[in-house]
Amino acid sequence: MFLTQRKMKQAAFFIVCVLLVIGFYKGWAKTEEEQSFNDKRLRQIKQNEDSLNEIEPEAIEKMMEMDNDVPYIEINDLQEANTRIRELEDKLHRIEAKIESRVPKNFPTVKFLNYKNRKRILVTGGAGFVGSHLVDRLMLAGHEVIVADNFFTGRKRNVEHWVGHENFELVHHDIVRPLYLEVDEIYHLASPASPPHYMHNPVKTIKTNTVGTINMLGLAKRVGARVLIASTSEVYGDPDEHPQSETYWGHVNPIGPRACYDEGKRVAETLSYAYMRQEGVSVRVARIFNTFGPRMHMNDGRVVSNFILQALQNDSITIYGNGKQTRSFQYVSDLVDGLVALMGSNYTLPVNIGNPIEHTIEEFASMIKELVGGTSKIVELAAVEDDPQRRKPDISRAKKYLDWEPKVPLSEGLEQTVAYFRKELQRTKHSQKDEFETKTKASLKNDHDIIEQL
């Protein structure tokens, strides 16, 4: 056992010695290897230095120039691109400015209505005088409004402040052709309304008020919508009952110059009640009396616009006939109140919507002259055919069933309207300035140039 231990110690000593010898040998060998690698690199560097020294200095300069060409080209491209970007940015700003002047970014604030209360409403003739004010009211109340108009007497400008609004849609459509939409309510106002306009194309006036009304009643029938027909005091013709109440059947010449409108509206009423009785369509009929206010058409030839424009331009104020005929004038916001109240009511028979304060046309001419000032003379011209001699609504039905009566005094409404026409006149004069023709036309060669200038 003792011997064995001794032998083991000797063997361990021997192994340790062998390991030490191997380790020493390896370390020495590695150092040798590194040394030879370093020597090799040093030799290479020396060789490179020698070969660089052999190259001519001119050749080196040339190489450096060639190397610099790449960044030069990039810088030029970059400058060109920057210039182009700046040009495009300028163009974009100009286009944005143009668009901003036409489509306001900030729409009037509309009420929020939840899904249950928000209605989808079609307004035919919504780009006209009354229609555009009604559209304003319905939009501000938070409804979705679709205007269908053929722009015969209406203008896009009347509703342009809503174009682009998520609740608004403007459809260029002639109501004599069918229209397929999904709506909850229809205000059917499409029809020329002033005597010169509806007499301009009497056949079209009849078609609009008959075929157009059938289409709207057909649409209402299909989708179960309620429809309000804009009728008129003209259904009473040249009345022999005064004031006119809804029970009066009227006194209309069926073949005279006004018949296209008067009889057209009477048929529209007849159609409404036929669709109500036969098809169960929910109808409302508003008999509208003379209405005035901003956005009346400049050339509609009605007494309010004619007298104001004549006074503003110091032209003669033209009375047709002796001026003893009467009218009663309501301001447009009162009419809109009445239309909305009627649509919301349960009352289905016709309702007069008008201001019962009556004036002779003679009085009215003096009132306008006084309000506007100026040097206009009041002159009498020949009377017009079938001109109704007296007109004043009995509004007891509207008071009773709609709790409605006009609020705006004539003088207040006229002030707003005069201010509107004054502005319109300035606008028209401005647009007549032929700067475009005289200054720039010579330099423009083709259509493209002209359009680019706009």
Instruction: Summarize as ranges the residues that interact with ligand UDP (CB under 6 A).
Output: 178-180, 194-195, 214-215, 218-219, 221-222, 290, 302-303, 306, 318-320, 325, 327, 361, 384, 387
* Residue 437 CB, nearest approach to ligand NAD (Å): 29
- Tokens 């080209």 locate to 73
* Residue 428 CB, nearest approach to ligand NAD (Å): 18
384 binds, among ligand UDP, ligand NAD, none (CB under 5 to 8 A by kind): ligand UDP
Q: Quick check: helix, strand or coil at residue 96?
A: helix
CB atoms closer than 10 angstroms to residue 135: 28
* Residue 372 CB, nearest approach to ligand UDP (Å): 15
* Residue 229 CB, nearest approach to ligand NAD (Å): 8
DSSP 315: P
Q: Which is nearer to ligand NAD, 174 or 424 (CB)?
A: 174
Catalytic residue among 187, 198, 261, 275: 261
CB atoms closer than 10 angstroms to residue 48: 9
**Residue 261 is a catalytic residue:** yes
* Residue 445 CB, nearest approach to ligand UDP (Å): 46
* Residue 244 CB, nearest approach to ligand NAD (Å): 13
62 binds, among ligand NAD, ligand UDP, none (CB under 5 to 8 A by kind): none
308 binds, among ligand UDP, ligand NAD, none (CB under 5 to 8 A by kind): none
Output phi, psi for 224, to 5 deg: 70, 30
Q: What angle do CA 425, 430, 434 make, to 5 degrees?
A: 135
Burial state string for 156-187 with b = 16 or more CB within 10 A and e = fewer than 16: eebbebbeebebbbbeebbbbeebebebebbb
Q: Which is nearer to ligand UDP, 135 or 317 (CB)?
A: 317
Q: Which is nearer to ligand UDP, 162 or 231 (CB)?
A: 231
Q: Which is nearer to ligand UDP, 215 or 417 (CB)?
A: 215
* Residue 191 CB, nearest approach to ligand NAD (Å): 4
Question: How far is 195 from 114, CA to CA, in rounded Å?
Answer: 42
Asked if 191 and 168 count as a contact pair (C-beta separation under 8 A), the reply is: no
- Helices 303-312 and 410-432 pack at an angle, to 10 degrees, of 60
- Give 49's Cβ-side CA count (13 Å radius): 6
91 binds, among ligand NAD, ligand UDP, none (CB under 5 to 8 A by kind): none
212 binds, among ligand NAD, ligand UDP, none (CB under 5 to 8 A by kind): ligand NAD
Q: Quick check: helix, strand or coil at residue 169?
A: strand
Q: Which one, of 214, 216, 212, lies nearest residue 204 by Cα?
A: 212
320 binds, among ligand UDP, ligand NAD, none (CB under 5 to 8 A by kind): ligand UDP
Q: Which is nearer to ligand NAD, 226 or 297 (CB)?
A: 297
305 binds, among ligand NAD, ligand UDP, none (CB under 5 to 8 A by kind): none
Q: Which is nearer to ligand NAD, 173 or 226 (CB)?
A: 173
- The residue with its CB nearest to ligand UDP is 218
Binding site for ligand NAD (CB under 6 A): 124-125, 127-131, 149-154, 174-176, 189-193, 208, 212, 230, 232, 288, 290-291, 297
Q: Which is nearer to ligand UDP, 274 or 444 (CB)?
A: 274
Asked if 187 and 343 count as a contact pair (C-beta separation under 8 A), the reply is: yes
Question: How far is 396 from 104, CA to CA, in rounded Å?
Answer: 42
**What is the dihedral angle through the alpha carbons of 197, 202, 206, 208, rounded to the nearest 10 degrees?**
-40
Residue 282 is encoded by which pair of tokens? 């929910």
Beta strands in 74-155 (DSSP E): 120-124, 144-149
The residues annotated as belonging to the active site are 261
